[in-house]
Amino acid sequence: MKVYKSIGEVRFNFNTVLTVGTFDGLHRGHRQIIDRLLEISTNEGLRNFVITFDPHPRLVLKNSKKSPVKLLTTIDERILKFEEMGVENVLIIHFTEDFSQTPPERFVNDYLVTGIGMKKILTGYDHSFGKNRGGDYEFLKTLSKKIGFQIEKIEPFLCDGRPISSTKIREALKNQQLDLANDMLGYSYLLSGYVVTGDGRGRILGFPTANIIPSNPHKLIPAQGVYLVSVKIDNKKYYGMMNIGVRPTFEHDGKYHLEVHIFDFSEDCYGKLIYIEFIKFLREEKKFDNIEQLKNQLNEDKNNCLEILKNIL
């Protein structure tokens, strides 16, 4: 897959089918668009292209009435997912306040028609772009007749009769509804982060942990609790259990800690970027009266994880 950081790097080719969007989470609604993109590319012999934005527009266009957006996917995680799906070309547009003022017609002409080349564009049912979000499906349909390109609108992907959205997935993750979030995503929620030095308490308990700092400070961290996870280190996959919370059994500073105990793993991974997939929510974080109670619970958690893995592997 080729990843471009500016429109000037892209070779013009009219025989291109493309789509544009932030695609935060690359959930099943987004994947429906990408799947259709790849289908058209194969059937009609067209180059496929995805145009996305970084930073997330809501991190740039701050709204005093809304809290800052938490990312379901960092740009690196998004690129990883695009590649897994089979996308051939991705242009990452650096999103700024100045860029947000680009009129929709100018964006279509400068980036899509004369920059990349566009025979056909796919758009989500509710997607809009450009200044004042004026570039919606009806705008593109009118412009397509004027300039001469094809357009196809992709209908929403429904979950329990309602369209999937990144907002609904964020809410599910914040409310310990991991199964629901993963169902809407179409895959296990992913978090990438760096392994840093901890206080060594896990090793004393017999459950050594890798302490994680997310690779992007705007990444959404799931709700407090204990999770069954998979962990990818140096392209090798392991399983383990992860605790997110304040470690109430010990004295704490009130800050969240992300700690993962990796099964059958004893290598040094300090400083490495690792990828964690959240498979199952096990239980809420709780305070124990003593260390023995905590150790017993950790053993029970591990046994629960191994039982779940027996059924899914």
How many residues appear in the chain? 313
Whether the bond into 57 is cis, omega within 30 of 0: no
**Predicted local confidence at residue 207, as pLDDT:** 86
Q: How far is CA 119 from CA 16, 21, 53, 112, 205, in A?
A: 5, 18, 22, 10, 61
Measured between alpha carbons, how far is 78 from 262 in angstroms, rounded to an integer?
25
Return the structure tokens found at 232.
Answer: 């990818």
**Predicted local confidence at residue 161, as pLDDT:** 84
Measured between alpha carbons, how far is 44 from 296 in angstroms, rounded to an integer?
60
**Domains along the chain?**
2-163 (3.40.50.620), 188-312 (2.40.30.30)
Rounded to 5 degrees, φ, ψ at 130 are 80, 180
Pairing of strands 162-163, 189-196: unpaired
**Predicted local confidence at residue 62, as pLDDT:** 78
Give the chain as a DSSP string.
-EEESSGGGSPP-SSEEEEE---TT--HHHHHHHHHHHHHHHHHT-EEEEEEEES-HHHHS--TTSPPPPBSS-HHHHHHHHHHHT--EEEEEE--HHHHT--HHHHIIIIIIIII--SEEEEETT---SGGG---HHHHHHHHHHHT-EEEEEPPPEETTEE--HHHHHHHHHTT-HHHHHHHHTS-EEEEEEEE---SHHHHHT---EEEEESSTTBPPPPSEEEEEEEEETTEEEEEEEEEE--TTS---S--EEEEEETT-----TT-EEEEEEEEEEE-----SSHHHHHHHHHHHHHHHHHHHHHH-
The answer to whether 312 and 277 have CB atoms below 8 angstroms apart is no
The answer to whether 86 and 31 have CB atoms below 8 angstroms apart is no
pLDDT, mean of each 10-residue run, the chain (313 residues): 97 98 96 98 98 95 77 96 97 96 95 97 91 88 94 91 93 97 97 86 75 96 97 96 84 80 91 97 89 90 96 85
Return the structure tokens found at 172.
Answer: 């599910």
**Predicted local confidence at residue 41, as pLDDT:** 98
pTM: 0.93
The answer to whether 131 and 104 have CB atoms below 8 angstroms apart is yes
The answer to whether 151 and 124 have CB atoms below 8 angstroms apart is no
Q: What is the amino acid identity at position 33?
A: I
